[in-house]
Amino acid sequence: MNPQTPLDPPCSTIAYRTIRRKDWFDPDDDSRVKAEAFMRRRPRTKKDGSHDPGDDDGLSVFDSHRIERQACIENELSCYGIATLHVGSIRNLGMTVIRDPTDERKLLIPDMPLENPNNARLEALLDSVAETARIAVRCKWKKPQV
């Protein structure tokens, strides 16, 4: 675990993770979010040949001290809800949480596993993250066409 710097969010910080896919909610337990909601996207080459960096800098979550829940929802093209994570719980799992240097409203979890890790230890870590998450709100939001 990396040492915390004065600029890093305190352990008591609550982070908001937007739920961008309906199937990220557990169909068997309506109080639970699946581990897939916390996997980082891998870098890839798009159909047009351009590079999509994915989440190479870390899983992006919102800092509840710097943005309201509704603003998080409206920040997305579409959203099905918000799950909360405690920064201290994430750090207790051995991960790092830092401020996003490009967006003061966000935090990054740089060592969150990438999607489909095919590694039992990393899959167990993702399950542990999902276990600590709490659903704050469910909704159906789609950004209006301009």
- For residue 109, being part of any structural domain is answered with yes
Strand residue runs (E) in 28-145:
44-45, 51-52, 59-63, 78-86, 98-99, 106-109, 134-142
Of 19, 18, 11, 17, the C-alpha closest to 96 is: 11
pLDDT at 2: 52
pLDDT at 140: 94
- For residue 106, being part of any structural domain is answered with yes
- For residue 2, being part of any structural domain is answered with no
Residues of the chain with pLDDT under 50: 1
pLDDT at 78: 93
Total domains, the chain? 1
What global pTM score does this model have? 0.89
- For residue 72, being part of any structural domain is answered with yes
Distances (CA, A) of 13 to 42, 58, 73, 80, 114: 27, 18, 19, 23, 23
Domain range for residue 68?
Answer: 14-39+52-142
- For residue 118, being part of any structural domain is answered with yes
pLDDT at 10: 94
